C-alpha cells in the first residue's frame, strides 16, 4: 500500500473535481414529490385517467394504460415513468409543474409557452447591449464619434 502525499498528489489547479458538485447526498431525490406532482396534475386537469392514458398513447405512439398511470403516481419506487412520456403528459394535462419539479433542485425553471416571446425579447435586448458596447469600444479605439 502506498502512502499518499497530499502536496504531491493534490490537484494541480483550482478546478472543482469531477464528482464534487456541492450538492449533498440525496439532494436530487425527487421521486416521491414528483409522483405527487403527477397525481396533482391529473386531478387538476379534470380528465379521467383513462382519457389521459389514451391521449398520451396516441401522441407518443406507445401503449400507456390507466393502470400504468396509477403505478407512476404510487409511492412504489419500482415503477417509474419514462422520460419520453413526460412532454405528452404535460401537453395532455396542460400542467408544466411536473417539469418544474424536475429542474427545481438544479436552480432552473421552465418558461410557459405564452411567455416564450418575452424570453426571446430579453435575449435580444441582452445581445443588443453587447453589440452596442462593442461598437462603442471600436469607436473609442479609432476616435470615431
| DSSP string covering 37-48 | HHHHHHHHH---
Of 54 and 18, more confident = 54
**Does 52 lie in the same domain as 66?**
yes
**Does 104 lie in the same domain as 121?**
no
pLDDT at 54: 96
pLDDT at 145: 78
Strands (E), the chain: none
Q: How many domains does the chain have?
A: 2
pLDDT at 109: 87
Range 3-28 average pLDDT: 61
pLDDT at 71: 95
Provide the domain limits for residue 127. Answer: 112-145
Q: How far apart are CA 25 and CA 14, in angstroms?
A: 23
C-alpha cell at position 83 = 422520460
**Does 121 lie in the same domain as 59?**
no
Q: Would you say residue 74 lies in a domain? A: yes
pLDDT at 24: 74
**Does 37 lie in the same domain as 84?**
yes
Range 95-117 average pLDDT: 88
Range 102-111 average pLDDT: 87
Q: Would you say residue 140 lies in a domain? A: yes
pLDDT at 105: 85
Amino acid at each position: 500500500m502506498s502512502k499518499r502525499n497530499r502536496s504531491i498528489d493534490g490537484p494541480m489547479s483550482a478546478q472543482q473535481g469531477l464528482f464534487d458538485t456541492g450538492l449533498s447526498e440525496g439532494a436530487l431525490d425527487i421521486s416521491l414529490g414528483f409522483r405527487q406532482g403527477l397525481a396533482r396534475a391529473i386531478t387538476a386537469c379534470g380528465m379521467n385517467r383513462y382519457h389521459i392514458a389514451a391521449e398520451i398513447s396516441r401522441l407518443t405512439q406507445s401503449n400507456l394504460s390507466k393502470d400504468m398511470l396509477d403505478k407512476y403516481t404510487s409511492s412504489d419506487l419500482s415503477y417509474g415513468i419514462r422520460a419520453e412520456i413526460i412532454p405528452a403528459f404535460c401537453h395532455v394535462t396542460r400542467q408544466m409543474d411536473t417539469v418544474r419539479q424536475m429542474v427545481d433542485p438544479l436552480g432552473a425553471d421552465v418558461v410557459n409557452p405564452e411567455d416564450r416571446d418575452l424570453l426571446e425579447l430579453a435575449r435580444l435586448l441582452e445581445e443588443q447591449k453587447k453589440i452596442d458596447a462593442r461598437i462603442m469600444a471600436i469607436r473609442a479605439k479609432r476616435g470615431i464619434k
